[in-house]
């Protein structure tokens, strides 16, 4: 497996089907409500890996000033199509290395996007930039799956899902436990010649993310199983974690 951030970026083909891979539904509405409740009325939100704007655009509709950064121009094009009024300010860039030059009341990194940083160094860089872009009293929200079920995979896993009445996606998931890398191979069949794309992630366990966050000047405030606030337990398969800047951290200039 290779380990470059570019391998995890969505090209035009994947961007065009992304919202069918992850359709907007009740979970999205709960995510918007969760972030809105953390953010002061009329406050500001930065979404790292903003993608097609499935959360950013509704947040802007709630009266927040919303910025988003993403490394995929095709994904940002989908966002602009969803947001013709330009309510979300977007930037093309690598959120593990590039900041916006300003601070926000809430910074978000949702739907496993943290894992597109495929080295520990990139993940720490991402968390440090998140901390640097927090306004005083701000919160950083990270949503990810718990990798425990995947970490013990000994052979590739194959699955199929319907994107719509005419399109299917065949998925193959391969795990390299020694590097905590997960390679997803997506084959899209939609009437034309099948097209295959690869998507590389470096997964991290919740306790590992907490340690990387601590090394980045952040401390955990709250962790739930989902956006609805279900308590997080040892059997939870995902987590929504809220962090704040730690003023006593020795790791950098924390707010």
CATH number (domain holding residue 216): 3.40.50.150
On the question of pLDDT at 109 being above 60, the answer is: yes
pLDDT at 240: 99
List the strands of the sheet with 218-224, edge to edge: 88-92, 65-70, 44-48, 104-109, 134-145, 238-245, 218-224
User: Which range marks the domain in which residue 155 is found?
Assistant: 149-201
| Residue 37 located in a structural domain | yes
Average pLDDT, the chain: 89
What pairs with residue 161 in β-bridges? Answer: 169
Side-chain half-sphere of 63: how many Cα atoms within 13 Å?
7
Based on the fold, state whether residues 110 and 191 are members of the same structural domain: no
pLDDT tens, residue by residue, 163-221: 888 888 898 999 999 999 999 888 888 888 888 888 899 999 999 999 999 999 999 99
Based on the fold, state whether residues 86 and 195 are members of the same structural domain: no
Q: H/E element holding 79?
A: helix 73-82
């Amino acid at each position: 497996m290779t380990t470059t951030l570019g391998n995890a970026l969505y090209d035009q083909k994947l961007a065009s089907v992304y919202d069918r891979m992850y359709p907007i539904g009740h979970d999205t509405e709960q995510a918007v409500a969760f972030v809105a409740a953390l953010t002061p009325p009329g406050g500001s939100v930065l979404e790292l890996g903003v993608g097609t704007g499935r959360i950013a655009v509704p947040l802007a509709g709630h009266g927040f000033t919303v910025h988003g950064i993403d490394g995929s121009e095709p994904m940002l094009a989908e966002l602009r199509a969803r947001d013709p009024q330009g309510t979300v300010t977007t930037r093309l860039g690598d959120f593990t290395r590039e900041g916006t030059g300003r601070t926000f009341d809430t910074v978000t990194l949702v739907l496993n996007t943290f894992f597109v940083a495929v080295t520990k160094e990139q993940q720490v860089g991402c968390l440090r930039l998140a901390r640097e872009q927090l306004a005083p009293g701000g919160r950083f929200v990270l949503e990810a799956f718990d990798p425990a079920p995947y970490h013990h995979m000994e052979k590739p896993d194959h699955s199929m899902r319907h994107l719509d009445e005419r399109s299917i996606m065949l998925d193959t998931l391969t795990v390299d436990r020694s590097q905590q890398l997960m390679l997803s191979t997506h084959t899209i069949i939609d009437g034309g010649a099948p097209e295959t794309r690869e998507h590389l992630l470096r997964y991290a366990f919740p306790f590992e993310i907490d340690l990387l966050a601590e090394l980045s000047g952040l401390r955990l405030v709250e962790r739930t199983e989902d956006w609805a606030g279900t308590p997080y337990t040892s059997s939870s398969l995902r987590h929504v974690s809220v962090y704040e800047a730690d003023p006593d951290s020795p790791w950098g200039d924390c707010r």
